[in-house]
């Protein structure tokens, strides 16, 4: 993060302090989230070979890909409350080691039941990671910087596609003949799961549990940071939810959860089905599928960073979310109508990735503006868990429709409608939240 990336209203000393925090915290969390997302969606590449080896249907795959989010939903809120009690360093380390082991264990799947169970356990183990990191970052940075901070952190999602696609394709191609008695898709889970375990161990030594526990900040810096966070809390709207019980009763919170569901519907359609859509367009080489799948994610990285900078510079949130979602739904419509045209289909999926993925970091500053510190842990987790239901619905819906119709066209139209609903919900967000 450069000095130019920080608000001009921030004093030189505070700019230096925030730069120090950004350099110390965000790159490591970026790498953790990168492997988090690779472990979550690498089944999209594994399925290119795994389904035939295990005689599984597209519907079985869709259910297995999606059942991850049932475990995620069940454990999201309690996991985040545990993180608040134990501290990020301890709980993030436990989560990463646990889900890394479960993700690696997918290499031993033999039946649909094994697949469902391990995907469920992986989802349950990582449920608190993302909302916990959102909560963790809000303890370091004021809202004026949340757009840029969340964009840098969440750009790990498209970067996981830029890097993970070609690497996954290379693994499937390189190990196609089988090595050590393992199929290529088994090597995929092994080589992409174990690094998460090692990163989980590293969390214990790298992260600090907040401002006071950071030995690399002096007393003056800590005092100034606390003052900035306190002042930030005072400027939140008077309608902000201020306890978890208030969160449960607040219709705006549930509207935000539904909005996040709509955004994630488009995101997971891309993450779980992009390799299949490319393959169905006529490309059969795993490495080429991986390289082609990197194009939408690379475009999304660039667009995401541009929008994050613009949102913070203008201190405007509503239109910086509306525009990406509109681009995303347009891309899904193009991809759905581009049957038999690989170039146009890839162009549509590129627009869809740019829009839907950019919607993620543009969404979270809205919640940061609405939730007080007292409600943040439970509120972030509740909104995130509600939205992550799309991770179950979206892959299963696409798989079921593909088995029933032989194509993904109707499913992509349905998911475009979900993003359109997201646009309408965004336009209904109160101005006191949207313009912070």
Quick one: average pLDDT of 367-389? 71
Q: Does a structural domain hold residue 3?
A: no
Q: Does a structural domain hold residue 411?
A: yes
For residue 70, the model assigns a pLDDT of 86
Domain with 74 in it: what CATH number?
A: 1.20.1250.20
Q: Does a structural domain hold residue 63?
A: yes
Q: Does a structural domain hold residue 139?
A: yes
Average pLDDT, the chain: 82
pLDDT band at 88 (very low <50, low <70, confident <90, very high): confident
Cα separation, 428 vs 416, in Å, equals 19
Tokens of 390: 């799309």
Q: Does a structural domain hold residue 359?
A: yes
Stretch among 205-214, 226-235, 344-353 having the lowest mean pLDDT: 226-235
- Residue 115 belongs to domain spanning: 12-434
Q: Does a structural domain hold residue 7?
A: no
Query: pLDDT at residue 355 above 60?
Result: yes
**Number of domains comprising the chain:** 1
Cα separation, 38 vs 294, in Å, equals 13
Backbone angles phi, psi at 341, to 5 degrees: -125, 90
Cα separation, 195 vs 319, in Å, equals 38
Inter-helix orientation angle 156-174/251-280, to 10°:
30
Q: Does a structural domain hold residue 430?
A: yes
For residue 239, the model assigns a pLDDT of 47
Quick one: average pLDDT of 177-205? 89
Q: Does a structural domain hold residue 77?
A: yes
Tokens of 75: 């454990």
Cα separation, 323 vs 309, in Å, equals 15
Query: pLDDT at residue 113 above 70?
Result: yes
For residue 281, the model assigns a pLDDT of 66
CB atoms near residue 302 (< 10 Å) = 13
Angle at 38 between CA 37 and CA 44, to 5 degrees: 110
């Amino acid at each position: 993060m450069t000095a130019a990336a920080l608000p001009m209203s921030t004093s030189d000393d505070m700019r230096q302090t925030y730069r120090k925090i950004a350099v110390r915290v965000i790159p490591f969390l970026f790498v953790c989230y990168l492997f988090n997302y690779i472990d979550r969606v690498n089944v999209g590449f594994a399925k290119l070979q795994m389904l035939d080896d295990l005689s599984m249907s597209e519907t079985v795959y869709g259910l297995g890909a999606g059942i991850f989010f049932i475990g995620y939903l069940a454990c999201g809120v309690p996991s985040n409350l545990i993180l608040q009690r134990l501290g990020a360093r301890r709980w993030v380390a436990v989560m990463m080691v646990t889900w890394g082991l479960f993700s690696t264990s997918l290499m031993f799947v033999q039946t649909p039941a094994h697949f469902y169970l391990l995907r469920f356990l992986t989802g349950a183990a990582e449920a608190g990671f993302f909302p916990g990191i959102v909560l963790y970052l809000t303890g370091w940075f004021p809202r004026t910087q949340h757009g840029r901070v969340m964009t840098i952190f969440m750009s790990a999602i498209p970067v996981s596609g830029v890097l993970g696609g070609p690497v996954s394709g290379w693994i499937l191609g390189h190990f196609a003949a089988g090595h050590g008695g393992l199929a290529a898709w088994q090597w995929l889970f092994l080589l992409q799961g174990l690094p998460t375990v090692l990163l989980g161990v590293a969390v214990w030594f790298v992260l600090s549990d907040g401002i006071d526990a950071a030995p690399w900040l002096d007393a003056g810096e800590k005092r100034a940071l606390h003052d900035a966070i306190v002042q930030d809390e005072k400027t939140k709207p008077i309608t902000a939810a201020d306890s978890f019980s208030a969160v449960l009763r607040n219709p705006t919170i549930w509207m935000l959860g539904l909005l996040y569901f709509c955004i994630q519907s488009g995101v997971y359609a891309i993450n779980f089905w992009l390799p299949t859509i490319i393959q169905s367009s006529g490309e059969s080489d795993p490495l080429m599928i991986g390289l082609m799948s990197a194009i939408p994610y690379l475009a999304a990285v660039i667009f995401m960073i541009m929008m994050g900078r613009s949102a913070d510079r203008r201190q405007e949130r509503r239109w910086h979310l509306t525009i990406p979602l509109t681009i995303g739904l347009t891309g899904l419509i193009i991809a759905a109508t581009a049957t038999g045209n690989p170039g146009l289909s890839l162009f549509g999926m590129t627009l869809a990735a740019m829009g839907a993925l950019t919607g993620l970091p543009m969404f979270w500053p809205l919640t940061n503006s609405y939730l007080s510190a007292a409600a943040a842990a439970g509120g972030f987790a509740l909104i995130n868990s509600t939205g992550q239901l799309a991770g179950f619905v979206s892959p299963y819906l696409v798989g079921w429709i593909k088995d029933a119709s032989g194509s993904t066209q109707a499913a992509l139209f349905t998911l475009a409608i979900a993003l359109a609903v997201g646009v309408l919900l965004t336009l209904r967000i109160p101005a006191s939240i949207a313009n912070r």
